[in-house]
Amino acid sequence: MPTPSPDASTRLKTIATVRSTPFCTSIAQHFNAAVAPMLSNDRSLDAIDPQLVDLNDVFNHPDYQIRYSRVRVALIRYVDRIQKSLPFIQQQINQLRAGETLTKDPADSHAIHQIAEKLQLAYNKQMQLSTDLTGVIHAMMDYRPPENLDIAHEQLAAEQTPQQMRDIKAYLRFDGQRDVIDAAENAAADSAITLVETRCAVNK
């Protein structure tokens, strides 16, 4: 079994109290609104990971038909959840990027642009994974596992196939894309927190 990836929700911070200016309010509102569903999608991808591991192994068991169906149902549920969140996330990233026009400071404008670009990268990878996983689901729906499968023959055939060709996670570049998502989310969060603390912190 693969080592679970660190839960990004334990590392990322949301932006709390800021000065009441259009620039600062825009950062807090749209950054938080984009990140919350992105982290929820990360948790869905956490749940998808073991489903893909099971799919690699499904035909090595006598109850392969039940296992196959179970994986397909789980993938449909989690991928549907991710895809429903994507339009809202993109909208919030666009509105965060529009905050560049709310400041006259070129450095602040550039910082907002870079934060939005990092979130966009994470969004793009989440969308790519959901698209690729939808393709897997469609392939699974088109394929009907035979009723009388020669498990020993299937295991032998699998052993003779290169590892990457029989590993659905490797085929999807699942772990690599998730690493990009985590790195982009954390880079965006670090930059956003630094910008807010520098420009928008409320003096007590």
List the chain domain ranges: 19-197
Instruction: Give the whole-angstrom CA distance, residue 145 versus residue 61.
Output: 12
What pLDDT does residue 106 have? Answer: 94
* pTM, 2 dp: 0.82
* Tens-place pLDDT, residues 139-154: 998 877 666 665 555 5
Q: SS in 3 state form for the chain?
A: CCCCCCCHHHCCCCCCCCCCCHHHHHHHHHHHHHHHHHHHHHHHHHHHHHHHHHHHHHHHCCCHHHHHHHHHHHHHHHHHHHHHHHHHHHHHHHHHHHHHHHCCCHHHHHHHHHHHHHHHHHHHHHHHHHHHHHHHHHHHHHCCCCCCCCHHHHHHHHHCCCHHHHCHHHHHCHHHHHHHHHHHHHHHHHHHHHHHHHHHCCCC
pLDDT tens, the chain, 204 aa long: 444 444 544 455 555 555 678 888 898 899 999 999 999 999 999 999 999 999 988 877 888 888 999 999 999 999 999 999 999 999 999 999 999 999 999 999 999 999 999 999 999 999 999 999 999 999 998 877 666 665 555 554 444 343 444 689 999 999 999 999 999 999 999 999 999 888 887 654
